[in-house]
A and B are shown apart, each in its own frame.
Chain A
Amino acid sequence: MNRAAGVLRGDGPRANIIKNQHDKNRVDHGNAFVDRGWDMFKTIGLMKGTAIAGAALIFGLGLTGAFAQNTVKIGAVYPLSGNAASAGASAKAAIEVAVDVINNAHPELGDLTLARDAGLPNLNGAKVEVVFADNQGTPAAGQNQTLRLITEEKVHAVLGSYQSGITLTASAIAEKYGIPFLSPESVAANLTERGFKWFFRTTPVASDIAKIYMEFLTEMKAKGTKVDQIAIVNENTEYGTSIAKVIREAAQANGLNVGLEIPYSANTTDVQSQVLQLKDKNPDCIIFVSYTSDAILYMKTMQALGYKPPILIGDNSGFSDAAFLKSVGSIAQGAINRSAWSAGKPGSVTDRLNEMYKKKTGYDLDDSAGRAMQGFFTMVDAINRAGSTDPNKILTALKATDLKPNQLMMGYRGVKFDEKGNNILASALLIQIQGSDYVAVWPKESATAPLQMPYKGW
């Protein structure tokens, strides 16, 4: 009874308002509540009108150029919830450090892009503002959020989106709207095979990565280590599948044998059966292509089942997450990973950035977050060189990007894009868990500690 009465009460005034709209001359309401409702209706209308006029005014001023550009808005679509949330939170913190570096004067950071002065010099010292959006770990949310950033937040460029499978959908929206999209960390091969005009990435890609692993394994084999059978264990979305495919092809080209491939879902609750399959086949080297939660489960389960391969390579992502190192680093001793990040000597630019990041998060900067930061610097540098937030001018500037190693915070040989949008100067080295940290071990000229073989585990 109560509920029915509520519905009736709710309907009454609304019905009356509609009636009033149709018959504005008849002011005989006889009901104070209805009057109030109608007044509110008018007020809202008035407010809307003002807002529209205001927006039109701002828009008009912007067009005539009388209104100085004082913020550059960049959208960043990252996994802030879902299973990859820890990586997303790290990327967000790294980008926030970069915003501080760009917006404030940091002469102590030497040649690093845009560090010296406050704001963007070519845009009258305009500040950078980042609008973060949560891709929730799903391609659909990544797409929707990119759409929202472009159409509602009116961002001038978009950065993202950690998982390759999400970068795939998010960048398609930016392409459609003609907004520059830069992916600092997605490595799947096909991202740059789509003939996109607005897509760029600064990271080493699948083929670069496969090449590093193969050079390393070939060298090990030449030195007498047994590398007769390689196993690839990969999560089964865009990232894992594409890296696994490229590694398999590179191995064949180098005369190395991939005897076992185990694709799996990263959201899994249990990996015992996969570890037992590995134990049965006993390969000489395992390459894991995993996100954080699954990488942690593999290390725990391998220890529980008492299994360790002679060589264990963990391809970045999960293995680079600071949370991975903290939670299972002690039972993954000797795990090899790729990286382009090194904090370097105390007092160096990279060390100072690391300290800024550490102050904010309590963790050392890791490779994934570092690549996010480098991608952000690259995009803002292009906008600064464009001297404008016009998408076409940013596009031209991105294409003309030619950053030298001393302007970077990552260990790339530079940033220069080919016609597909890949960074042809991206590179990486191999690092290994020794004690509580990763140390650079290969190639020899970049090594800070000797390589420890075989994989020790716990």
Chain B
Amino acid sequence: MSMSLLQVLIGGLLLGAVYALFSSGLTLIWGMMNVVNFAHGDFVMIAMYIAFMVWKLLGGGPFMAMPIAAMLLATLGIIAYFALVRHVMKGPMLAQILGTFGLALLLRYGMFWTFGANFQSLPENLVGGTYDLWGIRIQASRLLAGTLAIILTIALHLMLTRTSLGSKMLAVAEDATAAQLMGIRPDRMQAIAWGLAAGLTGIAGALIATFFYISPTVGETLAIIAFVTVSLGGFGSITGALVAGLLIGVIESLSGYLIGAVYKDIVVYTIFIAVLWFRPQGLMGKN
């Protein structure tokens, strides 16, 4: 295997891990209450701006930005749940779509208004430069993002399957009325899910900001990938999002390198459609 191909593979895996991380919040919310959060990409965008402000005002890197962004985004998620989602959930599907879509526009144009349309960027060497391992170059910021992404996604999965809070959340996801009869408050669990999902998105945004550009429209670009990742992995499946994220990252990089950059989306979406053809529930989704 040529060195370049190995470089492409590693780059693809690290990229895919990040895709998985920012998709896990989306899949968690869907799994909990069958709501598609169209504002998801814009949550990531807000977190990226928080990381930018943390650097600009406090001079801090991602390790300072992550907890701040996680807390602020979790708060935003919980507010969004109580102020908006809880109400639109009672309405028809269209109300949910338009509700979260409206939230997306509000956040996006709020940032346009606050920060202007200009692109921002964090300094290149905020996270320890680039490692050179036998000719394979690995950017510290991407390595950090990729590793943390895998750890956090697995942690989220374990939390849901191995803890009492997780069981309660899954119970609400399974049957909110039955869970309520067992003494679990569905709205509290759903609020926790929103807080958790948005908090994870906060961490994802703070990490992505270290190697990506920051602009009010960046959420649009990222959201498409999140939706593809989540539906390929299976709506509601955390491990599915991880597998699908890694898969998309690698396929995208390989096809971009071997066939050509303009064709990489064709390859990704062809595989995406083929998978959904045979497994409409996604790779790891339940029937």
| Residue of B with least CB distance to A263 | B262
Asked whether A328 lies within 8 Å of B11 as measured between CB atoms, the reply is no
The answer for the CA separation of A330 and B216 in the assembled complex, in Å, is 23
Segment with Cβ contacts to A, from B25-33, B117-125, B269-277: B117-125
Q: Find the B residue at minimum CB distance from A83.
A: B217
Partner of A265, one of B4, B121, B265: B265
Task: Tell me the chain A residues, 44-82 only, with Cβ under 8 Å from chain B.
Answer: 80-82
Q: Type the 1/0 row for B91-130, where 1 means its CB is closer than 8 Å to any CB of A.
A: 0000000000000000001001000111111001000001
- What separation, in Å, do the CA atoms of A80 and B217 have in the docked complex? 11
Min CB gap B27→A, angstroms = 19
Which listed residue, B120, B124, B261, B264, touches A303 by the CB 8 Å rule?
B124
How far is the CB of B2 from the nearest CB of chain A, in Å? 8
* Complex-state Cα separation, A321 to B121, whole angstroms: 14
Smallest CB separation, B126 vs chain A (Å):
12
Cβ-defined contact, A86 with B11, below 8 A: no
Tell me the complex Cα distance, A273–B221, Å.
Answer: 18
Query: Contact check: which of B8, B119, B142, B225 meets A292 at CB < 8 Å?
Result: B119
User: Could you say which of A114-122, A143-151, A176-184, A276-284 contacts chain B?
Assistant: A276-284
Interface residues of A in 308-328 (CB under 8 A from B): 321-324, 326-328
Given contacts A85-B215, A300-B124, A306-B130, contact A272 B118 (CB under 8 A): no
Cα-based distance from A415 to B255 in the complex (angstroms):
46
Contact with A along B165-200 (1 / 0, CB 8 A): 000000000000000000000000000000000000
- B residues less than 8 Å from A80 (CB atoms): 117
Q: Which of B11, B142, B222 has the most CB of A within 10 A?
A: B11
- Whether A25 is near chain B, meaning CB under 8 Å from some CB there, is no
Mark interface residues in B8-25 (1 if CB within 8 Å of A CB, else 0). 100110010000000000
Asked if residues B119 and A273 are in contact (CB atoms below 8 Å), the reply is no
Q: List 15 other contacts, CB 8 Å, given A268-B261, A323-B118.
A: A80-B117, A81-B217, A85-B217, A262-B261, A272-B12, A272-B256, A273-B253, A273-B255, A273-B257, A273-B261, A276-B257, A280-B4, A293-B119, A306-B137, A330-B124
> Per a CB cutoff under 8 Å, which of B120, B137, B212 touches A297?
B212
Q: A21 on the interface (CB 8 Å rule)?
A: no
Distance in angstroms from A144 CB to nearest chain B CB is 18
Taking the closest CB of chain A, its distance from the CB of B256, in whole angstroms, is 3
Task: Flag if B257 contacts A86 (CB, 8 Å).
Answer: no
Are A276 and B262 within 8 A (Cβ)?
Answer: no
Residue A126 lies at the interface, judged by CB distance under 8 Å to chain B? no
Chain A 77-110 interface 0/1 with B at a Cβ cutoff of 8 Å (1 = within): 0001111011011000000000000000000000
Q: Which of B15, B124, B257 contacts A331 (CB 8 A)?
A: B124
Query: Is B211 part of the binding interface, using a Cβ–Cβ cutoff of 8 Å?
Result: yes
- What separation, in Å, do the CA atoms of A324 and B119 have in the docked complex? 7
Interface residue SS majority, chain A: helix
User: B residues within 8 A CB of A279?
Assistant: 4
The reply to whether A297 and B257 contact each other, CB–CB distance below 8 Å, is no
- Give the docked Cα–Cα distance between A148 and B217 (Å): 25
Chosen A-B contacts, 17 in total, with CB atoms closer than 8 Å, are: A81-B112, A81-B117, A82-B217, A85-B112, A85-B215, A86-B116, A236-B262, A262-B261, A270-B15, A271-B261, A273-B264, A297-B213, A322-B118, A323-B120, A324-B119, A326-B118, A327-B121
Give B10's nearest chain A residue, CB to CB: A272
Contacts of B59 in A (CB 8 A): none
B221 with A89: CB separation less than 8 A: no
- Of listed A81, A324, A331, residue having the most chain B CB within 10 A: A81
B10 to chain A, nearest CB (A): 10
Residues 214-264 of B contacting A (Cβ, < 8 Å): 215-218, 221-222, 225, 252-257, 260-262, 264
Q: Which residues of B contact A (CB under 8 A)?
A: 4, 7-8, 11-12, 15, 109, 112, 116-121, 124, 130, 132, 137, 139, 142, 211-213, 215-218, 221-222, 225, 252-257, 260-262, 264-265
Inter-chain CA distance A83–B118, complex, in Å, is 10
Known contacts A262-B261, A273-B8, A297-B213, A323 near B119 by CB under 8 Å: yes
A-to-B contact residues, CB < 8 Å: 80-83, 85-86, 88-89, 236, 262-265, 267-274, 276-277, 279-280, 292-293, 296-297, 300, 303-306, 321-324, 326-328, 330-331, 458
Say how far A37's CB is from chain B's closest CB, in angstroms. Answer: 27
Q: How far is the CB of B210 from chain A (nearest CB, A)?
A: 10
Inter-chain contacts of A267 with B (CB < 8 A): 221
Determine if A89 and B117 form an interchain contact, defined as CB atoms under 8 angstroms apart.
Answer: yes
Q: Which residue of A lies closest to B129 (CB)?
A: A304
Chain A residues lying within 8 Å of B130, measured Cβ to Cβ, are 303-304, 306
Q: Which of A264, A268, A270 neighbours the largest number of chain B CB atoms within 10 Å of its CB? A: A270
B124 with A269: CB separation less than 8 A: no
Q: Are the C-beta atoms of B256 and A273 separated by less than 8 Å?
A: yes
CA distance A268 to B211 in the complex (A): 14
8 Å CB contact of B117 from A86, A236, A268, A324: A86
Report which residue of B212, B221, B256 has the largest number of chain A beta carbons within 10 angstroms of its beta carbon. B256
Q: A89-B116, A279-B4, A296-B119 are in contact. Are A272 and B265 (CB under 8 A)?
A: no
- Contact yes or no, A86 B215, CB < 8 A: yes
Q: Would A304 and B142 count as touching, CB distance under 8 A?
A: yes
Residues of chain B lying within 8 A (CB to CB) of residue A280: 4
In the bound complex, do residue B222 and residue A293 qualify as a contact, i.e. CB atoms below 8 Å apart? no
Q: Are B252 and A264 in contact (CB under 8 A)?
A: no
